[in-house]
Structure 1
Amino acid sequence: MQKLIMWEVSTNSPLMRSIHNVRETMGQKLFELTDQHFVNTGVNFRAVAALLVGGIYYTILHTRFNGGIFSDIDLATEEGRDEMLKAIEMIVDWAYQAGSKKN
């Protein structure tokens, strides 16, 4: 999967573009579920999700090729991965809390 992601972000390929388009179509289903929560809140959950996905991809690829430590978290350990999962959960929770405060 990591090699596919590297290929997708580093080449101009009809196959990778097709995979990207399928993933975006699947992501639309998630956003259709979340959009209603964020209407008129000032929270762009799609942007939050994009930053999370990009950050996850970068962190995984970086640690894969440059060692398991990133921001002093050892992603080669279960504890390090759990810390990252907790942080992702926290960010999504913050977005939902902010989305509960309608403008």
Structure 2
Amino acid sequence: MASERLVTWGLPVENAALIIAELTANAALHGRVPGRNVRLTLKVAGGTLRIEVRDACTDRLPAVRRRPEEEGPGESGHGLLLVEELADRWGVTPGLVGKTVWAELTPKSQ
């Protein structure tokens, strides 16, 4: 549905769809609190797409995990590296209940 919305807005989908998939998967896997939902919000202002994913978990803030080269790549734990590479900016906004992980794509990076 998110990709369809981006197409409707006339925005490129590929990078945004990867970021949306990663942030929502992280929220579902690491930020889920029973009885609470995850919320995806898409906004466009001045050509910049802002992707926000809110969850109810406050005790774990996401961080990019970098592994030493000698360990080699693992099967998971690299999603935020992808977000960091594809987005122009990204971050976390803690809330009273939960947090919002956001990423922005400007027209040149979309």
**Structure with greater proportional helix content:** 1
Larger Rg: 1
- Normalising by the smaller structure, the TM-score range is 0.3 to 0.5
Between structures 1 and 2, the one with greater strand share? 2
Give TM-score, length-normalised by structure 1: 0.38
Task: State the TM-score, normalized to the length of structure 2.
Answer: 0.36
